[in-house]
Amino acid sequence: MDASNTQAFDACLREALVQAREWIPRWVGTLHGTLREREASASHLSERQSLLQARTTLESHRDLMATRFLAVLGESMENALPHTGSGSRRSSTVSFDELELMGDDQVQETVEQARVQQIVKMAVDEELVTLTKRLNGALGLTVVNPEANPLRVEVIVGALVKSLKGLHVDAAVRARWLQVGAIPLGDALREMYVRLSQQLDRAGVKPAGYVVTHMPTSRQPAAAPKEEAVSVKEVMGDDNLLTLDHLHQLLVGNLDLNKNAAADNAMGRTLASEVVTLMLKGIAADERLLAPVRYMLLDMKPALLQLARSEPRFFADKQNPARRLLDAITERSLAFTSERDPGFEAFSRRVHDVVRALREPGADLAARFPTQLDALERSQAAAVTPARVQARGLAVQTLVRVEQRNLLAERVATEIRARNDFDKTPGVVRRFLTGPWSQVVAQARLEGADSPNTSHSQSAASRYSELLSDLMWSSQLALASLNRPRLVKIIPGVLRTLREGLDSIDYPREQTESFFQTLMGMHEAAYKTQRTGAPAAADEQHSVPPEMDDEPWMQRNEARDSCLMDDVFKDAPPTTTQPAFQETQRIQRDWADVKTEIAAQRTADLPVGTWVDILQDGQAARWQITWASPHGTLFLFTGSDGRSLSMTKRGFERLLEQDRLRVVADHGVVDAALDEVARQAWLNSAKATNFAGL
């Protein structure tokens, strides 16, 4: 990223806070005046009293409100920067799972915030687009990423709502302030956006652009069968769009679905049917699934709608057999990138059998879901050969052992650094002791724990630790040259024990010999200095090699048994042309100075179950993270055919930096579709009240 653009970006954010100190108090004053005007013109006593309460409360809180809004805005802007990693994948709305945990008051606050955001966005739409393009350009991005604008409407409205919650005033008063202040807030932001865009323009910042993607016709979302094309909205009517409040009532069971209340039962069934319809619509639009799978999932709609009449909340219960069946089909579908992939034809036939069984008439529909789920899981297990199942078990066992040894080696290295003679030892020896030799000692300690009957004097771990004093002493020219008899006596044992220890971890022979040559050179220098009677020279300051990567050490047999990807750290060619990723790459990676931090953050956030595409030998292959070590330093991936591949955390990050790894899905397809249902309900709620009271 160009330094001048970096300065322009920082200057823009500083100017935004300077301007906020001006417009926030002005906005508070406008809010107060508008409340007074509406109070005077209110025709109903209750409305007048509500406005009076909002105005008088504001009079006693206006200075504190402005101060808190400015402070929270500064924090929110910093947290919204893309390199901080603090943003959420669904930060601008509410997820399906979160909604179920909310109380009624929280739902109403969320709806009110959505309404304000919609009003403000309508007021600043053009100016916001212009500023976002300029800020993206200042960050070095060539393609616009709206989330890279820390001044976007969601951030500012969120800061306002957060600051108001800290004032300890009635929720009704806060809601009135937001309702009346939405339009003035949009006016204030529009003016600020214009001035900031002009500032970036004067600084010479070129705007980023938008990419228009033409969707291939073969990848268009599958259409629902004609007989199922009637939307549930036709039952609910245009005035009964699914709102966040409706969805929340359904999820928490506030509707009296289990009693003889016909209206509640009808409402619950209708809401459930609407959710099912929208959920399937979202799944059908998910292009990560191949078209045949999307068509077959849409064919499940009649069965799912029928189930919704008896179990209206089945989709929210992740243990419900119907929900588990949807999850199993969609998760397995992510393993395939083409209908020609090995195993896809058999999987497609199995899904077709599931759909056909569910569409058969009969009153036992609910009982068929667990039966079909069990059949699907058994067929998937049978598709993996016993040899690959065994190989995966060996890989997990090996990786657990590797992480245990490496964590223990870190503690051993800390013990060695704490010795009094460590700092006086030449750098090359220090590096050896806290690197390979700490692995040797850790390996011996683990083996000793497995053989508790071995006496302390006979244990390898004890001998390897006792070696430290002689090794450190013999490598210090000033000391070793003063005691030639001791030097001659200990050298054979030191070299023999070193070789034995390095062989125990299968340390590479070429690196072993390189260290031995260096060490023997030190011994020879000390020996010659004593023999010739030359004065003892000062300890040679050996250069310390560059810091090693924090990679878990693996023996060659461990790398083989764990199916370690062996080309992660090889120099990769420039990745400007990657045919396998061109159509699907979503993340801009030319922000070079934060690549490593973004990669590390994304690795930390990726759960087991995540699907990724990995580029090897010019071809992209689909893998799923099926296991992660307890401390998150090692990962095991499984392919659609049951093959295993392991990788270190640093290797994972390196592939991200090299643009050789793309995250396809870090959460389930059904989860994403239900989140889209919640988002649509959120938008419907905002639209339903957009101009209320204005």
pLDDT of residue 56: 95
pLDDT digits (tens, 9 = 90+) for 377-433: 999 999 899 999 999 999 999 999 999 999 999 999 999 999 999 999 999 999 999
pLDDT at 654: 87
pLDDT at 238: 42
Strand partners, 636: 627, 646
Residues in the chain: 694
Using alpha carbons, select from 565, 508, 561, 552 the residue that is nearest to residue 405.
552
Which residue type is seen at 486? R
Lowest model confidence (mean pLDDT) among 49-58, 64-73, 255-264, 353-362: 255-264
- Token pair of 228 as six digits: 């199922």
- The larger pLDDT score, comparing residue 246 to residue 359, is at 359
DSSP secondary structure of 84-114: G----TTTTS--HHHHHH--HHHHHHHHHHH
pLDDT of residue 261: 53
What is the token pair recorded at 469?
């004093």
Q: What mean pLDDT do residues 532-559 have?
A: 58
Q: Please determine, for residue 218, whether its predicted confidence score (pLDDT) is greater than 80.
A: no
Q: Is residue 117 within 8 Å of 157, Cβ to Cβ?
A: yes
Distance between CA 437 and CA 159 in Å, rounded? 53
Question: What 3-state DSSP class applies to 620?
Answer: strand
Could you tell me the two tokens for 159?
A: 């800061």
Rounded to an integer, the average pLDDT of 291-314 is 93
Burial of 162 (0-12, 13-18, 19+ CB in 10 A): middle
**Integer CA distances (angstroms), 229 to 225, 226, 232, 273, in order:** 6, 5, 9, 13
Query: Hey, what amino acid is at 440?
Result: V
Q: Are strands 634-639 and 661-665 parallel, antiparallel or unpaired?
A: unpaired
Is the confidence at residue 623, as pLDDT, over 90? Answer: yes
Give the pLDDT confidence score for residue 598 in this predicted structure: 45
Assign 577 a pLDDT band (cuts: 50, 70, 90).
very low
pLDDT band at 469 (very low <50, low <70, confident <90, very high): very high
The answer on pLDDT for 481 being more than 80 is yes
The model's pLDDT over 17-33, given as tens digits with 9 standing for 90+, comes to 999 999 999 999 999 99
Task: Determine phi and psi for 311, rounding to 5 degrees.
Answer: -130, 80
4 Cβ contact partners less than 8 Å away, ≥ 6 residues apart? 203, 204
First vs last C-alpha separation in the chain: 45
In this prediction, residue 243 carries a pLDDT of 85
Choice between 545 and 52, residue whose per-residue pLDDT is larger: 52
Work out the angle at residue 255's Cα, subtended by the Cα atoms of residues 253 and 256, and round it to the nearest 5 degrees: 100
Q: In this structure, what is the dihedral angle of CA atoms 584, 586, 591, 592, given to the nearest 10 degrees?
A: -40
Mean pLDDT computed over 583-596:
37
Share of the chain above pLDDT 70, in %: 81
Q: Are 283 and 304 in contact (CB under 8 A)?
A: no
Q: What's the rounded Cα separation, in Å, for the pair 100 and 272?
A: 14
Buried-exposed string 652-689: b where 16+ CB fall within 10 A, e elsewhere: bbbbbbbbbbbbbbbebbbbbbbbbbbbbbbbbbbebb
Residue 216: CA atoms inside 13 Å, Cβ hemisphere, count? 7
User: Per-residue pLDDT for 262 more than 60?
Assistant: no
Partners of 616 in beta bridges: 619
631: which DSSP letter?
T
Given this model, what pLDDT does residue 166 score? Answer: 87
Q: Is the pLDDT of residue 155 over 70?
A: yes
Rg (CA), the chain: 33
Per DSSP, the chain holds a count of helices (H) and strands (E) of: 25, 5
pLDDT of 645 reads 94
Calpha distance 443→455 (Å, rounded): 17
Question: If pLDDT is split at 50, 70 and 90, which confidence band does 263 have?
Answer: low
DSSP-derived letter for residue 218 is: G
pLDDT given for residue 348 in this prediction: 95
Q: What are the tokens at 612? A: 């990724």
Share of the chain above pLDDT 90, in %: 52
The mean pLDDT value of the chain amounts to 82
Q: Which amino acid is at 531?
A: R
Q: Hey, CA dihedral for 530, 534, 536, 539, is it positive or negative?
A: negative
Contact, 176 vs 54, CB < 8 A? Answer: yes
Summarised one tens digit per residue, pLDDT across range 497-544 is: 999 999 999 999 888 999 999 999 999 998 887 555 444 444 444 434
Burial class of 545 by CB neighbour count within 10 A (0 to 12, 13 to 18, 19+): exposed
Query: In this predicted structure, what is the pLDDT of residue 177?
Result: 94
* Model pLDDT for residues 628-680, shown as the tens digit of each residue: 998 889 999 999 889 999 999 888 888 888 888 888 988 899 999 999 998 88
Assign 458 a pLDDT band (cuts: 50, 70, 90): low
pLDDT band of residue 67 (cuts 50, 70, 90) is very high
Q: What is the pLDDT of residues 194-217, one digit of tens each?
A: 999 999 999 999 998 875 544 333
Q: Which SS3 state, helix, strand or coil, does residue 312 take? A: coil
Query: What is the predicted pLDDT for the residue at 565?
Result: 87
DSSP one-letter code for 538: P
